[in-house]
């Protein structure tokens, strides 16, 4: 089959790859209905992460089960499924604690920017719908696989509650999903930091009450001004740079929480500063599996429309153009149809 391989920064190819096979009795093979490009795929694309060998790209996925291994009990061929980018057994102590992204058997999904993919630990990782979903729901179901679940986790980790004041650092797809999640959790005020018109518009549509276009100290000053000098109860850090983390820390009220889901690159934290600012923090790869049944239900009952975050859809064979569009910020997030 033809699938997506990254050979070097900026060098993404759609080329011949072996078709996936059942390797372990707990595996499933799925035919992708849709897949997409993640903001985190841009780290190696931009040379921020080393590429030791060609990478089979793609970790967001939904589709139809083609085959399952002999030990798979609940997932069956023919089902439509969504899975997390973190492979988990959903039975170990970490999974039962709600942190499937630290599963004792954790693997990170790869090779999903392809017509077919192998999903390990299928029973633990995949969630099936009762029936084949309407086609217009596919983008939203795909979003649940990572970007929605990650924004949701950021809001959960930052302890957004009814009535909360929330600030969202980062206007990428995850940040926008963080806005949506905060709204669903009952936040009263949602301040989105964005300087891009189209992203601002989507943030407002998803529930943002205020837009802050300034960054750094000026952005923090704006948030302080909007909150009578107090700061936000909950801050969602959806970027992962030193600058964005400092922005998040300074925008958080004492005793408030930062949920950080941007993979930190070059972020060092000073213990004494965090101590005296009383900034709470919880982050990491999102335990999407914890939220997946609820999120899929919200989507299937059309209560949320996270799929709007895909503002460019391409045939899978044009994946290289998809990377370019996201790298150049021409697109928020690119959906790929095999």
**Residues near a copy of itself, by CB under 8 A:** 93-94, 97-99, 101-102, 157, 228, 230, 233, 245, 253-255, 257, 260, 263-265, 267-272, 274-285, 287
72-97 in b/e form (b: 16+ CB < 10 A) is: beebeeebbbbbbbbbbbbebebbee
Question: What pairing do the DSSP bridges indicate for beta strands 312-315 and 252-260?
Answer: unpaired
**Nearer Cβ to a copy of itself, position 277 or 305?**
277
**Nearer Cβ to a copy of itself, position 54 or 98?**
98
State in angstroms the smallest separation of the CB of 33 from a copy of itself.
30
d(CA 277, CA 269): 12
d(CA 252, CA 10): 36
State in angstroms the smallest separation of the CB of 155 from a copy of itself.
15
**Nearer Cβ to a copy of itself, position 131 or 275?**
275
Structure-block tokens of residue 244: 């964005």
State in angstroms the smallest separation of the CB of 246 from a copy of itself.
11
CA distances for 136 relative to 110, 299, 336, angstroms: 25, 11, 14
**Nearer Cβ to a copy of itself, position 56 or 158?**
158
State in angstroms the smallest separation of the CB of 306 from a copy of itself.
23
State in angstroms the smallest separation of the CB of 208 from a copy of itself.
22
Q: Where are the beta strands (DSSP E) in 17-152?
A: 28-36, 55-56, 61-68, 80-83, 86-87, 107-108, 116-119, 126-128
State in angstroms the smallest separation of the CB of 231 from a copy of itself.
9
**Nearer Cβ to a copy of itself, position 132 or 269?**
269
**Nearer Cβ to a copy of itself, position 18 or 229?**
229
d(CA 300, CA 247): 36
């Amino acid at each position: 089959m033809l699938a997506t391989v990254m050979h070097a920064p900026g060098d993404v190819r759609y080329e011949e790859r072996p078709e996936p096979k059942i390797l372990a009795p707990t595996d499933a093979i799925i035919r992708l209905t849709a897949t997409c490009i993640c903001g985190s795929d841009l780290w190696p694309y931009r040379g921020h992460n080393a590429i030791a060998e060609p990478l089979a790209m793609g970790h967001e996925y939904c589709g139809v089960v083609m085959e399952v291994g002999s030990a798979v009990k609940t997932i069956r061929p023919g089902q439509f499924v969504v899975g997390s980018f973190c492979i988990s057994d959903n039975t170990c102590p970490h999974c039962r604690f709600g942190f499937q992204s630290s599963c004792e058997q954790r693997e990170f999904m790869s090779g999903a920017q392809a017509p077919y993919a192998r999903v390990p630990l299928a029973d633990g990782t995949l969630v099936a719908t009762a029936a084949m979903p309407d086609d217009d729901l596919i983008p939203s179901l795909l979003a649940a696989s990572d970007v929605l679940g990650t924004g949701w986790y950021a809001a959960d980790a930052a302890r957004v509650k009814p009535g909360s004041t929330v600030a969202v650092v980062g206007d990428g797809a995850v940040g926008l999903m963080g806005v949506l999640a905060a709204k669903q959790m009952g936040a009263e005020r949602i301040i989105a930091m964005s300087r891009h018109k189209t992203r601002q518009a989507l943030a407002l549509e998803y529930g943002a009450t205020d837009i802050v276009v300034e960054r750094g100290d000026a952005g923090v000053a704006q948030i302080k001004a909007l909150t009578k000098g107090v700061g936000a109860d909950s801050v969602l850090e959806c970027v992962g740079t030193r600058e964005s983390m400092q922005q998040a820390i300074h925008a958080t009220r004492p005793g408030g929480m930062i949920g950080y889901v941007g993979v930190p690159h070059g972020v060092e934290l000073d213990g004494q500063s965090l101590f005296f600012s009383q900034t709470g923090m919880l982050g990491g790869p999102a335990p999407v599996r914890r939220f997946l049944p609820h999120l899929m239900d919200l989507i299937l009952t059309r209560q949320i429309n996270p799929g709007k975050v895909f503002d460019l859809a391409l045939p899978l064979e044009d994946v290289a153009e998809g990377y370019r569009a996201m790298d150049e910020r021409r697109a928020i997030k690119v959906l790929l149809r095999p």
